[in-house]
Homo-oligomer: A and B are copies of this chain.
């Protein structure tokens, strides 16, 4: 495996750890619970990806992922501990950055293991989305992926750009960087202009239990 794979995984894990720490701050969590939340957010997506691909999970033989989480958490704590407020987009920004790394890396790893392009993009999306999903479930919030703003579309788009460029003969590293950039820009644009795709019309909620 190319050396930059390791760095992309490390960066993805670090930025998801930052998003987990910010979510912990938001929920007034304290003590080492912060590290637990940051860790499951950071390694959740990659662990699920590797279990499904039936390869050793990335962190099982490599301590560097834990150093990355630890450094990211401590640095974030030091930065925010005396803040009274944090701009509300900060958490979403780091989540978007984590998505960019994980979706493209997940797509790549799946292709490496011989899946179809479609399954690769979906597994990339899954590995990008799941860490944040676990984070939001543990914090008892509506998962970010369900709060619109093209979240899932953005992931699929990043995977499509990456695998499309590969198919066009572009080398791996520029294809990866392009996929990540495309994903990040679309997600930031969707956040800024609150882009959504309405599917259901307004309705009363009568599907509840009687």
Contacts and interface: CB of A to CB of B under 8 A. Distances in A.
Interface in A63-109: 63, 66, 77, 80-88, 90-91
Interface string A128-160: 010001000110101101111111110010000
B199 A85 contact: no
A33 interface: yes
A197 interface: yes
Main secondary structure of the interface of A (DSSP, over half): loop
Given A115-B61, A201-B81, A66 B32 contact: no
A118 interface: yes
A111 interface: no
Identical copies of this chain, number: 3
Interface stretch (A22-30, A164-172, A176-184): A22-30
Most B C-beta atoms less than 10 A away, residue of A60, A122, A208: A60
Given A36-B146, A115-B60, A115-B61, A91 B29 contact: no
Interface residues of A, number: 77
Contacts of A112: none
A35 interface: yes
A210 B146 contact: no
Closest 5 CB pairs of A and B: A32-B152, A85-B206, A31-B197, A33-B146, A26-B207
6 contacts: A25-B200, A26-B207, A27-B146, A85-B204, A86-B206, A137-B138
Interface of A: 22, 24-37, 39, 47, 51-54, 56-57, 59-61, 63, 66, 77, 80-88, 90-91, 115-116, 118-119, 122-123, 129, 133, 137-138, 140, 142-143, 145-153, 156, 196-201, 203-210
